Every structure is written in C-alpha cells, then in structure tokens.
C-alpha cells in the first residue's frame, strides 16, 4: 500500500517562558507519520507529550521548525488558516471529554458538520451515535451521561467531520477498565474502517502496544521504540 | 437556520444568554421607565405652572401688542388670547373705588380656570368662561366697598356693566403680587366703549400663547429680538421662583435617580457579561479545535449580540413603557391633574443605554473570548491574557459617557465617578485588611464561623469585587434615600401647612391696634407689622441710573421700579445676615438683587422718597427666604432715615377656609386696607410638592428594586464556586447546617462591611450633592449609618442563602458531576 505522509515534522522546537525563566520543552524533533498509521506517543508526566500533540494539531504555535499536514505547511499558517485546516483534516478525543455542557449528545456530535455547513449534520450524528451504541441517549445532556458514555459521544463527534487525522489525548485516562476497553475498541475500529491516521498520547503501555508505532518522549526528545 | 442561531437557541436553553438578556432588559427598562416618567412629570410641571401664567407663554408689554405678533402666532398654529390691565375708578350708587381691571378676550385663560362664586366672600368654584360683553366680575372686597351685589350696575369710564359673578381668582394675575387694588374683570370687546385708556395711561398689555413646544420655541426665537423696553417674554418656570426652584430640585433628584439607574445597569451588564464569558471560554476553545475560525466566531458573536440587543431593547422598552404607566397610574390618585402622555422620542435614551452598556461591557470581553487559545482544551491554565484593567477602563469611560448623555452635563457624572473611584479604593483597602484579619483569626477551620470567615480571604479577588458591587448598590440606594428625605423635609419646612396666605397693605398706624383686636378675636395668626414707604433708587455712587443704563436695557430689578422700603432694628424672620452690620446707620440689601446690580458693602445708593432725596451707604447684605411668606424687602433703611415719612403698614396672616368669610366681613370695616390673597398660589405649590414627593418615592422604589435584582445577579455570578465548595464540604462529611452557617457568615460579613462602607460613601456623596447640585446646606444623616449595615446584612444574607439553596438541597454527587 503506497501511503502518503499525513504529518511531517522538521526540527520542531518549543520554548515557553515561565517565572523561573525560559524552558525548552521540545528540542529539535523530526518525524513522519504515514496515512492510516496508528502512532502512540508515550513518556512520563511533564515530558512534553501533550505539548507535542497540541502543536501537531495546530492548537499552539511552536518556537521554531515546521509541521506539514499532507505536504501543506501547517505550523507557519495564521490562526484562521490553521482553524480551517483543523476543520478539514483533524479530529480530537480528549481525556476529559470536553463535551459542551449546554448541548445534548446529538448536538455535540453535530457541531463539526454544522461548522462546515453540512445540511445532513443531524442524520450523520445519529448514525455515528448509533455506531458508538448511544442511539438511546441522543437528547441527554453530558451531565446525564456516565464517563464512558461521554467519551463515546466525544468519539462520535471526533469522527463526525470524517477527519483524516485523529488526535487522542489520554482517551481512557478518566475511565475504568471496562469502559476504557470499549473506547479503545471503538477508536481502533473506526480508525481502520475509515482509514484515519491515529495519533494518541498515553501512559498506558498496553494501549500503546496496540498502535503500529510507539514514539517515546523523553526530556524534549522523541525516539522510536523498536520492539 | 444558520449555525449562529442554532447555537444561540441552544445557549438560550442553557440559560447563559438569558442572564445577559435579563441584564440588558433591566438596564433598558429601568432607564426607559425613569426617563419617560421624568419627561411626563416635567410636562406636568410645565402645565401646572402654565395654569399660574394662564398660558404656556406670555408677552407682557407697556404698549399695545403689535398686530404682526398675532399674525405670526396664528401662522404657527398657536392659540392666542389677550388681556389688558389697568387701574381705574369704578362707580356704583354713590360710592367710588380705585380698582384693578382686566379686560380679557373670550377664550381667556388659555390654561387654568377662573375661580368665581355667586355668594359674597365665597371660596369659589372653577369656571371655564370669561365675562360676556356687558358683564363685570368683581372681587367680593370690591363689591363690599362699592356696596353692590350680583345684578347691580357699575360704571367704568363711559360704560355700564352688570355684576355677574364674584371673582375669587383670575388665573393670570395671581403672581402680580403687589397689585393691591381690588379687582374686576370685563370682556375685552367692551374696553373701547369705556374710553378709560387714553395716551399716557398706565396699561399693561399681555398676549397669551399656547401650543406645542416646538412652535412656541420657534415663536420665541422670532419674537425675542423684537422686544423693546417694557416688553417681556415670560415662561411658566420664570413665574414664581419658588415653584421653579422646587421643580428644579425635583428634576435634579430624578436626574440623579436616572443616573444611578444607568450605573446599576452598567454593573448588571458587566456582571452578566463576565459570567457569559466565563462559561463560554471552554466552549470557544472546543469550537476552535473543531475547526471554527476566529472570523467565524466573531461573526457568530456579533450576530448573537445583535439579536440579543434588538430583543433586549424591544422587551426592555416595552417593559419600561409599562412600568412608567404603572407608576403614573399609581400616582394618578394622588395627582390633582392628569399626567400628560410621555413623548415617544424619549425612548432613544433607554435603547442607547442598552447599546452603550453592551458595547463597553460585552464587546471587549467577547473579543477576548474569541482570542482564547484552543490549547486550553489540553492545558486549562493556557486561557486568556488577563487584560482586565483595559476592560474596566473601557467600562468606566463608557459609563461616564452615558451619564453625561443622560444628564446633559458633566457635574453630576463627575461627582458620581469620583465617588465610585473613591469607593473602589476604600473597598480594596478595607476589604483586604478585614478579610486578612478574618483569615488570621480563624486558622484551623472547624466551625461554620471559621469556614465562612476564612473563605472571604481564600477567594480574595472575587470577594473584593463582590464587596464593591454590594457597596455600590447599597450606597446608591442610601444616597437616594438621603436625598429624598432631605428634599421632602426641606420642602415641608419651606412651606409649613399654615404659611401666611394673605397680606394686608395700606394699613395706617392708627388702624393697627383695631385690626390686631379683630384678628385676635378670630384667632388668626399674624406676622409683625412692617412700615412701608415707596421710593426709587436714582443714583449709585453719585452716578445716576439713567447714566448707568442709558437705553434702560438690562436694568437691574433694584433700579427698574419703585420699591417698597421699610425700616427695622432687628432682622426679620427668614432673613439672614451675610456680611456687614445690620444695625449700622446704612442700607441693608438683599443678596440676590445686590449681586444683580453688582453692589457691595460701602456702595452708596441715592433714593428718591416722595421727592426727598436720601443717600446712604450699604452697610449690610442679607439673604431672604421668600418661602416664609412673611413681608420681605429688598432694601431696609435705618429708622432715622424713614421715620418721618408717612408710612403704611403691612403684615401677613394665615386664614383658613373656615375663617375666610368672617375675616373678609370684618375687614370691610377698613375699606382703605388692601388684602392680597396668595392662598391659591400656595395651594398650587403645595400640590406640586405633594406630587413630587410621591413621585420621587416611587422612583426610589423602582431603583431599589432594580438594585436588588443586580445584587441577586452578583451573588449568582460567584455561585458556581460556592456550590463546588459546599458540595465538597458535604462530600467530606459536613452537615448541611454547617455549610449553611458558613454561607450565612460569609454573606453576612460581606453585607455588613459593604453596608458600612456604603454609609461612608453615601454620606460623602450626599455632602457633594447637597452643596454642589442641590445648592442646599450640607447635613448629617444618622439614619444611613443604621440602614446601610442593616440592609447589607439582612438583604445580602437573604439573597445569598436564597440563591445558594441548591448547595444545601441537591445531592453533592450531582453538583460535582455538573461542574
């Protein structure tokens, strides 16, 4: 299978200013992630995993270096263009779900399609909630759902825009084992069925091992874990 | 439906937009209702005063009215009527009497009514017609002097008239206070046949006008440049200084109330916007991760805010209109006249208050909201830069601008702004010290007391802000209460119930004892007797008045006419010495006329008294409280200068309605004594004051209700943190009673301190307002020092406990999950 490059990172450096002085979190990172690949980024707390994820998704601006999505410059774009590219390529699943509390489950899932002006947003959202097994919870609000259910809504929302790349930040971090396994199964199933590239930050080695590749973040450097 | 509106509907459902909408509605409706109500009151005052003038506007002239003036008034669609007044002898049977006759057109008066009676010395009823041709209405006193009754014939010049009514009051003449001959009214069409007006006669012509404000203003602009010496343009508010003054102060009060409403609206909008932004931070960050661009988000918020503004303004205007209708109808029973309809054009004020408060409080926060980094979803502390100083500054400038717009001036807004700044500083210093003290006294929290006091310091900044809001609202309320009480007390003091309502003139010294006996028999209260001599100021510091004012233009009142002079060894009631020595051998001048004529101590005035010239230096300057209705004088001379002149005496009395008839009958024994009845003017003033007092109490009530709503909004804005803390405490095993006690202590302490600081602030502001805005004397208000802390503790604890009742009832799990 001739995969194209979904994400390309060259010489990525990120420095933040804190009250104790400048702190370089990422030190010259280079990597490539191919389309449809699943990649786990592991490392200890504070190693810079989430920072890297934020930069890859264009949520923050790096200090130097470049990030490309499908060969298009991404990190060098302004916020407006990055947002448009996010809408086009990227989906998210967060550790703390980040559903909008004022919206019902179905409305949360409709959001990405609505932002693109999709007229079939509701129908598609319904199908996706059906896929994650929540067709009976469409009009529930997030605080009426259990943690596992909330994360399933979040996954449905992430796939609603049919993203080419899905970023997941500790997707099972707030869940018990049973719910965690359910979520992981869902993520990988959808990843495979839709050909989505999956980039996941996790502490969980078992989960990491389910991915095609494991990248280890340590003291601002990224190394490949050759098993 | 577009994305914006779908999002908006969902936000409405969640209640976040509703809070903002409510703030906008409160803001627009409060300002609108007060603005409209003030407008109606102003119109009503004008009407009341117009009744005293018998017209909306009047031109008074010593020469006949130019026909061009009539034509122009008709062209502008104004109503016009005329009155010609003169003194003449009236004859009946064998008696004759000098009288003051007014000849009026059929449609006179344009405003107000004649008061007439069919019984001699009756108290009168309103009569909406003027005398028919061939008729004369005579005052009871004139009738008794001429010994005539209804149906008898009297002669005026060459014409004969039949007496048709007894005149009690001619609406347009009530304030020409010193026209003391007995009065009569005839129809203007009969004037020519009397032949009494010949070249050189002293006649006063009046052209009375009524109509819409704009046309009257146009006419004024056209006619004033044409006015010559002896011609004056008069408006209702010039008529009777006391009423003007009373209304002026009431307007200042209402304006102040409106300004405070504007400030409260601002606070409400600021609180609601802050809450909206806080609750939408994560939403915006999530939308950004989902691909929403800043441009799209800007569009979404601008559209949402526009819809919100239109909806809020429309609902607010409608409620505002309704509220002022309710206030007006509540007042209707108390008002003697019906309030005129409010002008729709005044609605812009409420709408623009809403718009400006939205622009200054909402937009800057929204812009910051849009700037939130999408990274916040991964790192919650990567939120927005805390550029709050800038936001507050914009809010402050906007508020100041609104107040200036509202009051049409800078004085009141400046006083308020300085006060608010001062209060903010005071709150910061006092609040910080007290909270810190509370913290150090309560280390190792175990009781509700300790938890409550400790949490004051733990949430230092939000609590200081809340303390400021509480303080401001309570302070604004206290200021209004203080101003209201002192205004009303001031008015009541100005015109006590039994203020003199009659003057006796032309009393000879030999008649004084007799009149004293008669009034004592009738139990009528009487002021002292003052001797009165007529004289005219002819020169100032040896320069003649003609030389000083060659064209007689801009001549001060003191030189313009013959004055009533008196002498006295003691300062009379209502007089207060400003400078100099009252008992020195010189003149004592009333302060306002001295100022007008630019006179000071030491200046010499030459006075012509019946052909004799007296020159004296000014040795004292006095203020006179004209409201006491005692005989008062611009110039008081030393006894040595006047005692050799033949003098008449003057006194004032209070005559109740029941005493009126016997009194008039008794006084007919003294045909040469002139009686001036000012009771109707007084009654009108008292009516206006009564209405004003009711009106400002209602406005006060409205503002305080709006204030309570803002307090509630303010408590709600920090509710989430308190809910979270309360839930945690309960999860950790605290009983509901403990949580309730802690909340009660926290709110109670906030209330107590805000009430105390508010009392300090209100007292300071009242000082500024009394001295600079109301031009009255500063006074201390002990009531505020009691009310402030009391309201603070009771109201804020009640609102706090009411708003946080969910903390105590809902299972903690549910609260924690919802947060």
A43 or B693, which is more confident?
A43
Note whether A186 contacts B: Cβ–Cβ < 8 A: no
How far is it, in rounded angstroms, from Cα A74 to Cα A12? 12
Report yes or no on B672 lying in a domain.
Answer: no
pLDDT band at B624 (very low <50, low <70, confident <90, very high): confident
pLDDT of residue B178: 41
Enumerate the H helices of B442-567 as residue ranges. Answer: 448-458, 460-494, 509-521, 545-548, 557-560
Does A163 touch chain B if contact means CB atoms closer than 8 Å? Answer: no
Residues in chain B: 819
Interchain CB contact of B282 with A (< 8 Å): yes
Could you tell me what percent of chain B has a pLDDT over 70?
A: 87
- B673 located within any domain: no
Output the CA angle A111-A114-A117, nearest 5 degrees. Answer: 160
Of A138-142, B170-174, B232-236, which range is least confident?
Answer: B170-174
pLDDT of residue B334: 56
pLDDT at A8 over 90: yes
Q: What per-residue confidence (pLDDT) applies to B486?
A: 74
Residues B198 and B230 in one domain: yes
CB contact under 8 A, B379 and A169: no
Name the domain count of chain B. 4
Q: Which pLDDT tens digit goes with each residue over B722-766?
A: 777 777 777 777 777 777 788 888 888 889 999 999 999 888 888
Contacts of A83 in chain B (CB under 8 A): 288, 291-294, 296, 374
Q: Which of B205, B227, B243 finishes a domain?
A: B243
Read off the pLDDT band of B176 (50, 70, 90).
Answer: very low
Q: Quote the CA–CA distance of B19 and B273 in Å, as a whole number.
A: 9
| Judgement on whether residues B151 and B272 belong to the same structural domain of the protein | no
Are residues B287 and B272 part of one domain?
yes
* Model confidence pLDDT, tens digit, residues B333-354: 655 556 777 777 778 888 888 8
Q: Which of B13, B294, B382 sits opposite A83 (nearest CB)?
A: B294
Using the Cβ of B640 and the Cβ atoms of chain A, whether some distance falls under 8 Å is answered with no
Whether residue B808 is predicted with pLDDT greater than 80 in this model: the reply is no
B812 falls in which pLDDT band (50, 70, 90)?
low
Coil, strand, or helix at residue B268?
helix
Beta strands A64-69 and B502-507: pairing type? unpaired
Nearest Cβ partner for A114 among B6, B11, B286: B6
Q: Does A16 touch chain B (CB under 8 A)?
A: no
CA angle B263, B268, B273 (to 5 degrees): 125
Residue B417 lies in a domain: no
Does residue B414 sit within a domain? Answer: no
In this prediction, residue B331 has a pLDDT band, given cuts at 50, 70 and 90, of: low
**Comparing A5-14, A116-125, B298-307, B398-407, which segment has the lowest mean pLDDT?**
B398-407
**According to the model, what pLDDT value does residue B173 have?**
61
Query: For residue B387, what pLDDT is reported?
Result: 60
Which residues, 6 or more positions from A191, have their beta carbon under 8 angstroms from its beta carbon?
A36, A38, A166, A198
Distance CA B777, CA B493 (A): 13
Which chain B residues are closer than 8 Å to A87 by Cβ?
290-293
Compute chain B's Rg from CA coordinates.
Answer: 34
Measured in angstroms, the CA of B14 and the nearest CA of chain A are apart by: 5
Predicted pLDDT at B451: 72
Same-domain pairing of B553 and B650: yes
Based on the fold, state whether residues B230 and B319 are members of the same structural domain: no
Q: What is the pLDDT of residue B333?
A: 60
pLDDT tens per residue, range A167-184: 999 888 877 888 888 888
B409, pLDDT greater than 90: no
Residues B472 and B533 placed together within one structural domain of the fold: no
Q: What is the mean pLDDT of chain B?
A: 80
- Domain ranges in chain A are 5-224
**DSSP percent split of chain A into helix, strand, coil, nearest 5:** 35, 30, 35
Identify the weakest region by mean pLDDT among B80-94, B172-186, B425-439, B466-480.
B172-186
Give the whole-number percent of chain B exceeding pLDDT 90: 11
pLDDT at B716 over 80: no
- Inter-chain touch A115–B287, beta carbons under 8 Å: yes
Residues of chain A with C-beta less than 8 angstroms from the C-beta of B373: 59-60
Nearest to B285 by CA among A128, A203, A92, A139: A92
Mean pLDDT of B149-162: 91
Looking at B243, B258, B274, the residue that finishes a domain is B243
**What is the pLDDT, as a whole number, of residue B815?**
58
Q: Cα separation of B382 and A60, whole Å?
A: 10
Q: Write out chain B residues lying below 8 Å of A84, CB-based.
A: 291, 293
Rounded to the nearest angstrom, the minimum Cα separation between A100 and chain B is 6
Q: Give the mean model confidence (pLDDT) for residues B386-413.
A: 77
Greater confidence (B372 vs B688) lies with: B372
Question: What CATH code would you report for A5-224?
Answer: 3.40.50.300
Helix or strand holding residue A13 (H, E):
strand A5-18
Give the C-alpha separation, B607 to B544, whole Å.
Answer: 11
Tell me the backbone φ, ψ of residue B572, rounded to 5 degrees: -75, 175
Work out the average pLDDT over B387-394: 73
Q: Is residue B418 part of a domain?
A: no
Report the range of poorest mean pLDDT among B217-231, B387-401, B519-533: B387-401
* B735 at A interface, C-beta within 8 A: no
What residue numbers bound the domain in which B481 lies? 423-500+678-819
**Could B379 and A111 be called an inter-chain contact, meaning their C-beta atoms sit closer than 8 Å?**
no
The yes-or-no verdict on residue B241 having pLDDT over 80 is: no
Q: What is the mean pLDDT of residues B762-789?
A: 82
Asked if A115 lies within 8 A of B290 by C-beta distance, the reply is yes
Say if residues B109 and B54 touch (Cβ distance below 8 Å). yes
- Token readout for A141 is 């609000």
* B180: confidence class by pLDDT, cuts 50, 70, 90: low
pLDDT value, residue B552: 55
A80 touches chain B (CB under 8 A): yes
* DSSP code per residue over B119-160: STT---EEE---PPTTEEEEEHHHHHHHT--TT-EEEETTEE
Looking at residue A69, its pLDDT comes to 93
A86 Cβ under 8 Å from any chain B Cβ? yes
Lowest-pLDDT range of B166-175, B560-569, B607-616: B166-175
Q: Is the peptide bond before B109 cis (omega within 30 degrees of 0)?
A: yes
B64 vs A: CB within 8 A: no
pLDDT digits (tens, 9 = 90+) for A76-135: 998 889 988 988 899 988 888 889 888 899 999 999 888 888 888 899 999 999 988 899
Strand ordering across the sheet containing A64-69: A21-34, A5-18, A64-69, A72-73
Task: Check: CB of residue B55 under 8 Å from CB of residue B110.
Answer: yes
Q: Does B296 touch chain A (CB under 8 A)?
A: yes
Q: What is the pLDDT of residue B163?
A: 94
**Could you tell me how many CB contacts below 8 A there are between chain A and chain B?**
85
Residues B253 and B342 in one domain: yes
Question: Is B806 an interface residue toward A (CB < 8 Å)?
Answer: no
Q: What is the pLDDT of residue B152?
A: 92
Length of chain A: 227
Residue B536: closest CA among B551, B528, B546, B550: B546
* Chain B residues within an 8 Å CB radius of A57: 289
Region for B646 from its dihedrals, namely left if φ exceeds 0, alpha if ψ lies in -120 to 50, beta otherwise: beta
Asked, for residue B761, whether it belongs to a domain, the answer is yes
pLDDT at B744: 84
For residue B131, pLDDT beyond 90: yes
pLDDT at B401: 85
Domain assignment of residue B697, yes or no: yes
- Contact state of B291 with A98 under an 8 Å Cβ cutoff: no
Q: Is the pLDDT assigned to residue B391 strictly greater than 80?
A: no
Check CB contact under 8 Å for B818 and A101: yes
Query: Residue B160: pLDDT band by 50, 70, 90 thresholds?
Result: very high
Report residue A3 CA to chain centroid gap.
20
| Residue B352: Cβ within 10 Å count | 16
Q: Would you state the pLDDT for residue B628?
A: 67
B596 and B698 housed in the same domain:
no
Answer yes or no: do B264 and B228 share one domain.
no
- For residue B303, pLDDT beyond 70: yes
């Amino acid at each position: 299978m001739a995969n194209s490059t979904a994400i390309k990172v060259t010489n990525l450096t990120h420095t933040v200013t804190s009250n104790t002085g400048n702190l370089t979190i990422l030190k010259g990172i280079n990597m490539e992630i191919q389309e449809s690949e699943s990649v786990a980024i592991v490392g200890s707390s504070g190693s810079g995993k989430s920072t890297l994820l934020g930069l890859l998704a264009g949520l923050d601006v790096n200090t130097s270096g470049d990030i490309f999505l499908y060969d298009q410059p991404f990190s060098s774009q302004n916020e407006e263009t990055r947002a448009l590219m996010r809408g086009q390529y990227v989906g998210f699943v967060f550790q703390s779900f980040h559903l909008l509390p004022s919206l019902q489950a179905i409305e949360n899932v409709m959001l990405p399609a609505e932002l693109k002006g999709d007229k079939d947003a509701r129908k598609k959202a319904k199908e996706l909630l059906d896929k994650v097994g929540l067709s009976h919870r469409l009009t529930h609000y997030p605080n009426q759902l259990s943690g596992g259910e909330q994360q399933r809504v979040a996954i449905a929302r992430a796939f609603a825009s049919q993203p080419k790349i899905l970023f997941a930040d500790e997707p099972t971090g707030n869940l018990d084992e049973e719910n965690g396994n359910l979520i992981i199964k869902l993520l990988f199933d959808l990843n495979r069925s839709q050909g989505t590239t999956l980039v996941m930050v996790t502490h969980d080695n078992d989960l990491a091992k389910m991915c095609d590749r494991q990248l280890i973040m340590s003291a601002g450097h990224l190394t490949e874990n050759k098993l | 439906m577009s994305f914006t509106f779908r999002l908006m509907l969902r936000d409405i459902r969640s209640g976040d937009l509703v809070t903002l909408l409510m703030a906008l509605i409160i803001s627009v409706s409060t300002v609108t209702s007060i603005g409209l109500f003030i407008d109606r009151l102003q119109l009503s005052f004008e009407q009341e005063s117009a009744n005293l003038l018998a017209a909306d506007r009047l031109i008074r002239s010593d020469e006949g009215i130019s026909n061009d003036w009539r034509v122009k008034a008709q062209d502008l669609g104004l109503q016009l009527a005329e009155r010609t007044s003169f003194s003449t002898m009236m004859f009946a049977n064998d008696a004759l009497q000098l009288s003051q006759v007014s000849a009026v057109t059929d449609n006179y008066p344009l405003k107000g009514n004649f008061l007439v009676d069919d019984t001699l010395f009756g108290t009168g009823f309103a009569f909406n017609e003027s005398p028919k041709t061939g008729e004369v209405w005579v005052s009871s006193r004139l009738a008794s002097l001429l010994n005539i009754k209804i149906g008898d014939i009297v002669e005026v010049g060459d014409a004969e008239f039949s007496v048709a009514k007894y005149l009690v009051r001619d609406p347009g003449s009530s304030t020409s206070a010193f026209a003391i001959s007995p009065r009569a009214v005839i129809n203007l069409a009969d004037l020519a046949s009397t032949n009494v007006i010949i070249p050189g006669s002293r006649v006063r012509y009046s052209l009375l006008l009524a109509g819409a404000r704009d046309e009257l203003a146009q006419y004024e602009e056209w006619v004033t440049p044409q006015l010559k010496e002896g011609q004056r343009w008069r408006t209702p508010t010039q008529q009777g200084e006391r009423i003007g003054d009373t209304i002026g102060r009431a307007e200042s009060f209402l304006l102040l109330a409106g300004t405070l409403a504007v400030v409260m609206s601002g606070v409400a909008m600021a609180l609601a916007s802050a809450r909206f932004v806080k609750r939408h931070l994560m939403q915006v960050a999530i939308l950004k991760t989902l691909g929403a661009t800043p441009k799209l988000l800007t569009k979404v918020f601008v559209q949402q805010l526009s819809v919100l503004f239109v909806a809020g303004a429309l609902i607010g205007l409608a409620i505002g209109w309704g509220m002022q209708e309710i206030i007006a109808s509540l007042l209707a029973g108390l008002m003697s006249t019906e309030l005129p309809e409010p002008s729709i054009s005044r609605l812009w004020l409420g709408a623009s208050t809403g718009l400006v408060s939205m622009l200054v409080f909402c937009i800057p926060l929204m812009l910051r909201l849009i700037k939130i980094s999408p990274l916040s979803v991964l790192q919650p502390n990567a939120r927005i830069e805390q550029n709050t100083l800038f936001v507050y500054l914009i809010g402050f400038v906007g508020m100041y601008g609104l107040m200036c717009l509202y009051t049409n001036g800078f004085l009141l807004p400046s006083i308020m702004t300085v006060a608010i700044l001062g209060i903010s500083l005071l709150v910061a210093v006092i609040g910080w010290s007290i909270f810190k003290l509370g913290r150090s006294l309560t280390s190792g929290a175990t009781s509700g007391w300790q938890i409550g006091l400790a949490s004051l310091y733990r949430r230092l900044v939000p609590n200081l802000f809340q303390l400021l809001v509480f303080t401001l609202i309570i302070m604004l309320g206290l200021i209004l209460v203080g101003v209201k009480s002192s205004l009303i007390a001031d008015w009541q003091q100005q015109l006590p119930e039994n203020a003199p309502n009659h003057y006796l003139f032309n009393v000879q010294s030999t008649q004084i004892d007799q009149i004293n006996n008669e009034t004592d028999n009738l139990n009528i209260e009487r002021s002292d007797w003052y001797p009165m001599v007529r004289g005219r100021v002819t020169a100032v510091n040896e320069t003649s008045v003609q030389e000083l004012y060659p064209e007689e233009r801009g001549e001060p009142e003191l030189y313009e006419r013959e004055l009533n002079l008196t002498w006295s060894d003691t300062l009379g009631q209502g007089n207060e010495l400003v400078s100099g020595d009252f008992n020195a051998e010189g003149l004592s001048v009333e302060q306002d006329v001295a100022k007008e004529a630019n006179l000071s101590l030491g200046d010499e005035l030459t006075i012509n008294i019946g052909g004799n010239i007296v020159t004296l230096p000014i040795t004292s300057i006095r203020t006179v409280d004209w409201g006491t209705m005692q005989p008062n004088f611009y110039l008081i001379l030393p006894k040595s200068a006047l005692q050799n002149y033949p003098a008449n005496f003057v006194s004032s009395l209070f005559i109740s309605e029941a005493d009126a008839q016997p009194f008039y009958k008794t006084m007919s024994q003294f045909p040469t004594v002139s009686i001036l009845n000012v009771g109707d003017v007084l009654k009108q003033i008292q009516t206006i004051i009564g209405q004003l007092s009711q009106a400002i109490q209602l406005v006060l009530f409205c503002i305080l209700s709006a204030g309570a709503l803002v307090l509630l909004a303010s408590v709600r804005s920090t509710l989430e943190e308190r809910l979270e803390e309360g839930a945690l405490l309960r999860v950790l095993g605290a009983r509901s009673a403990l949580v309730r006690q802690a909340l009660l202590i926290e709110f109670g302490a906030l209330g107590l301190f805000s009430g105390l600081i508010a009392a300090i602030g209100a007292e300071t502001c009242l000082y500024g307002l009394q001295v600079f805005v109301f031009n009255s004397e500063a006074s201390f208000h002990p009531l505020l020092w009691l009310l402030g802390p009391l309201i603070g503790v009771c109201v804020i604890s009640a609102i706090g406990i009411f708003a946080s009742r969910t903390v105590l009832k809902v299972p903690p799990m549910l609260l924690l999950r919802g947060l």
